[in-house]
Structures are given as structure tokens and as C-alpha cells.
Amino acid sequence: MKVDYTNIGLENLDKYEEKALKSFDTLMDGSGEGADFLGWVDRPINYDKEEFERIKKAAAKIQANSDVLVSIGIGGSYLGIKAVDFALDNYFGSNKKVKIIYAGHQLSGQYMSELLDYLKDKDYSLNVISKSGTTTEPAIAFRFLKEALEEKYGKEEAKSRIYATTDRQKGALKDLATKEGYETFVVPDDIGGRFSVISAVGLLPLAASGVDIDEFMAGFETGRKKYTNRNFNNNDAIKYAAIRNMLYENGKDIEVLVNYEPKLQYTAEWWKQLFAESEGKDGKGIFPASVNNSTDLHSLGQMIQDGKRNVFETVLEIENYDRDIDIKEDIDNLDGLNYLAGKSLNYVNKQAMEGTTIAHVKGNVPNIRLLIENVSAKTLAELFYFFEITVGVSGYMLGINPFNQPGVEEYKTQMFKLLGKPGYEEK
């Protein structure tokens, strides 16, 4: 991965170097708030090798007896998996060994009813992912899906098709898994949800779908080698964090992550959670948004080009595609497109990106470009690690704890009060 800062004015960046390096030191030496959740930093080299092999065996078992794996989780227990799964799958007709279906990431009765109908004639397994086992959305989904699985296969076989990724020692889901005899995997105590795709949270469902998790871990290790060195000019994660904060202090308080390849749509969704939950505290933070271009150039493009000048963009550019197609000449040329004859569609897409960049920069929208060699398990993992180091440094530069999310609890309190949950009547 490479970072292109051509379209960012860097004249004042040296003013942020010392602060960025100090924040990087805080991250790396574990001296800042939230240090209990830094297990992801060295995870690429010190992960549990025994559990890693158990994950591979469980994945092979799922592949042998299931067409579908229902991954039950929300937030960090969902978005990282979906980002990789969606990026590496075919658009039309899955190329995966096992199709991952997602549940527990919302509360739609329509969705759950249709999912239960869909599963009736499928062989499937469940992977319920929850540290506590009591998070509302996945807990409700698991209740429905467990009942359906037991009705389909009987209680004994159903047990062998349920995999619980949860706390190592305690919690409602851990207790249930022990009682029922489900195979369990660990949600690490020292890795927050939005960083957890590197753990069993992400590795089991991805391995079951056919992702090479050795390559995935190798990508994280590459990221660790590149983005944990204390060198401002040779560590793009530190430099990117400094640039983001420089732009923020100059009134650019919305960052738009841009892609020109729809396979990266859910990578942007994962990124939005990472930065929103990490930075959005104490009245501070850069608001993370995303667009899928060129589609959104025909909707949000107007706002980005001509709206309030508080926006900057980070563009994900893929350098090499697996597939492409050339535009042919048409004798009648009624659509006026013969000037494109002989050019590939990916070439046209790249020119759309270049033209948009020129237009937006002229419109005072600073533009950072992240160049990714291709879309693979390894490159996605490196990209994830890059963003994770960045958000740690950036959060400490803002003066907040990047590793908690206290605001998430408020909606739950008000929801539980409305639902009549015992203990919430007066809150």
C-alpha cells in the first residue's frame, strides 16, 4: 500500500510532527487511556497458534456439512467480516466454499422472517459472536436461529453446528456454550470490537467461507512492520494521522472515504465504525462518511463539490484488477461513445476518479489517495492495520481515549426503558 499526498497542502505539517510522534509513543508504550485494549498491536505475531489451528479445523467441518454459515453479531462482530467477505466474493453468484449470511446486526422482523424461510432448505451452521451473550440484537437473533436449527436437526446435531465466539471465562453465552457443549472461540479481553477481525471473531467465519487466513494474518504482519516504526516521514499511518488533525484544525471536520470499486463498500462501513467510535467523544472528532463512486457522483457529488467547505476526502485506489473488459466500436455510434473504443472499462473508471479529484481539489476539497495493489485478503489486512494505527495516533492527538465508546450505551438505556426491561424504569 502507498499513500499519495499530492493534493494536500503540507506547508504547515511540520507543526504537527512532534505532537503526532508523541501520540504514537503513547500508543506504542501503552501509557495512554484505553491501553488495556491494545492487544491488536502485536496480535499479528503473538496470536494463539493452537486456537488458529482449531479455527481451521472448525472451518473445514463447516465446509463439509453446511452450505451456509449464519454469522450472528453486530458492530465489530459483524463489519470486519462483512468487509472482507464482500470484497473477496463475486458480485453475481458466490464463489465461496460456504456462503456467509449475517444476522443480529439489526432488529428487523421482516429480515429475520425471510432469513428463517431462506434457511429451511439449506444445510447450515451458526457462529454466534458476543462477548457477553446479552447484547440485544445478536441475542434475539440467536434465540430465533437456535430454535430453528434444533427443529431442523434435533438438539444433539444442532449442538455440533453451533460455534460460540465469546468471553474466555464468563458471561451468558459462555455459560450456555459450556452447558450445551458448543465449540467455543475467544473474544480477546484486550481487543475492542472494532479491532477484532484479526481474532477468532473474524477468522472463523472467513476461514469457513474459504478465505486464506494465513494470508490474512500475513497482511496484518506486513502492516505491523510498516506502521509501528517511529519515523514520521517513513510511517504513513503517523503522517496520515497528523494530516487529518491539521485539516481538522483548519475546519475540515468531515472525512469522506471514497471508492471507485463497489467491492470496497463494506470496507468503508467498517472504517466508519472504527473512526466514529474511536474519535467521536467530548464534542470532538472528524465525522466519517463514505461514497461509492461513480454512483454517488450523481447524488452526493454535488454537496462535496459545492457545499459547505468542511470536507476532505481519502480515496481508495486499486492498482491492479483481476478482471476488465474493453469497449468495442459500434457502427451506428448512436450513443456517441466510439471515442472510447479500445479502452477498458477500468481505464474509464480511473479517468473518472482523476477528473473528480481535479474538480474537488479545485473546489477546496483536499484529497489523500491510498493506493492498494489489489483486492486480496493480504492487502485488506494491511489496510485495516494502517487505519487502526492511524486512529490510535489521531485519537491521542485529539486528547481523547480512542478505545472506549461510552456514548453507545445511552441509546440502549433509553430503548430498555421503553421496552420495560427490569431495572431501567427510572433511568
How far apart, in whole angstroms, are the C-alpha atoms of residue 41 and residue 388?
A: 9
Asked if the bond preceding 278 is cis, omega within 30° of 0, the reply is no
How far apart, in whole angstroms, are the C-alpha atoms of residue 243 and residue 144?
A: 47
Could you tell me the CA-to-CA distances from 78 to 60, 170, 263 in Å, in that order?
21, 21, 17
- The catalytic position among 2, 22, 155, 412 is 412
Tell me, rounded to whole angstroms, the distance of Cα 282 from its chain centroid. Answer: 24
How far apart, in whole angstroms, are the C-alpha atoms of residue 274 and residue 286?
A: 12
How far apart, in whole angstroms, are the C-alpha atoms of residue 169 and residue 131?
A: 10
**Is position 277 annotated as part of the catalytic site?**
yes
**Is position 255 annotated as part of the catalytic site?**
no
Q: And the C-alpha cell for 334?
A: 448512436
Exposed, middle or buried: residue 17 (CB in 10 Å: 0-12, 13-18, 19+)? middle
- For residue 184, the surrounding DSSP H or E stretch is strand 183-186
How far apart, in whole angstroms, are the C-alpha atoms of residue 44 and residue 34?
A: 20
- The catalytic position among 277, 279, 313, 382 is 277
How far apart, in whole angstroms, are the C-alpha atoms of residue 61 and residue 161?
A: 9
How far apart, in whole angstroms, are the C-alpha atoms of residue 217 and residue 382?
A: 9
Residue with cell 489451528: 53
Contact 124, 70 (CB under 8 A): yes
Q: And the C-alpha cell for 242?
A: 497528523
| DSSP class of 285 | -
Where in 226-365 does DSSP place strands (E)?
254-259, 287-292, 311-318
> Which residues have a catalytic role annotated?
277, 412
